[in-house]
Amino acid sequence: MGCSSSSTKTRKSETSLKAALIIQNWYRGYKARLKARQHYALTIFQSIEYADEQGQMQLSTFFSFMFENYAHVHKEELELRKQSLESEQDMRDRHDYVDLIDVPDSYNGPRLQFPLTCTDIDLLLEAFKEQQILHAHYVLEVLFETKKVLKQMPNFTHVQTSPSKELTICGDLHGKLDDLFMIFYKNGLPSENNPYVFNGDFVDRGKNSIEILMILCVSFLVYPNDLHLNRGNHEDFMMNLRYGFTKEILHKYKLHGKRILQILEELYAWLPIGTIVDNEILVIHGGISETTDLNLLHHVERNKMKSVLIPPTETNRDYDTDSKHNKVGVTFNAHGRIKTNGSPIEHLPKHEWEQIIDILWSDPRGKNGCFPNTGRGGGCYFGPDVTSKILNKYQLKMLIRSHECKPEGYEICHDGKVVTIFSASNYYEEGSNRGAYIKLCSGTAPRFFQYQVTKATCFQPLRQRVYTMESSAIKILKERVISRKSDLTRAFQLQDHRKSGKLSLSQWAFCMENILGLNLPWRSLSSNLVNIDKNGNVEYMSSFQNIHIEKPVQEAHSTLVETLYRYRSDLEIIFNAIDTDHSGLISVEEFRAMWKLFSAHYNVLIDDSQVNKLANLMDLNKDGSIDFNEFLKAFYVVHRYEDLMKPGVTNLG
Catalytic residue ranges: 234
- Looking at residue 577, its amino acid is A
Pick left, alpha or beta for residue 592 (phi over 0 → left; psi -120 to 50 → alpha; otherwise beta).
alpha
- Phi and psi for 282 in degrees, rounded to 5? -95, 125
CA distances from 35 to 527, 597, 650 (A): 18, 46, 14
- The CA angle 159-163-164, to the nearest 5 degrees, is 85
The H helix count followed by the E strand count for the chain is 22, 25
Beta strands in 423-512 (DSSP E): 435-440, 447-451, 502-504
Cα distance between residue 58 and residue 649, in whole Å: 38
Contact 508, 530 (CB under 8 A): yes
Written in H, E and C, the secondary structure of 291-356 is CCCHHHHCCCCHHHCCCCCCCCCCCCCCCCCCCEECCCCEEECCCCCEEECCEECCCCCHHHHHHH
Contact 492, 503 (CB under 8 A): yes
Give the three-state DSSP class for 522: helix
Cα distance between residue 19 and residue 13, in whole Å: 10
Cα distance between residue 388 and residue 403, in whole Å: 20
Neighbouring residues of 587: CB distance < 8 A, sequence distance ≥ 6:
77, 624, 625, 626
Q: To 10 degrees, the CA torsion angle through 170, 172, 176, 182?
A: -20
* DSSP label at residue 102: -
Neighbouring residues of 51: CB distance < 8 A, sequence distance ≥ 6:
375, 480, 517, 518
Which H or E run includes 275?
strand 274-277
Sheet holding 531-532, edge to edge: 502-504, 537-539, 531-532
- Looking at residue 385, its amino acid is D
Which H or E run includes 548?
strand 547-550
- Phi and psi for 156 in degrees, rounded to 5? -120, 125
End-to-end Cα separation, the chain, in angstroms: 53
Neighbouring residues of 97: CB distance < 8 A, sequence distance ≥ 6:
140, 144, 259, 263
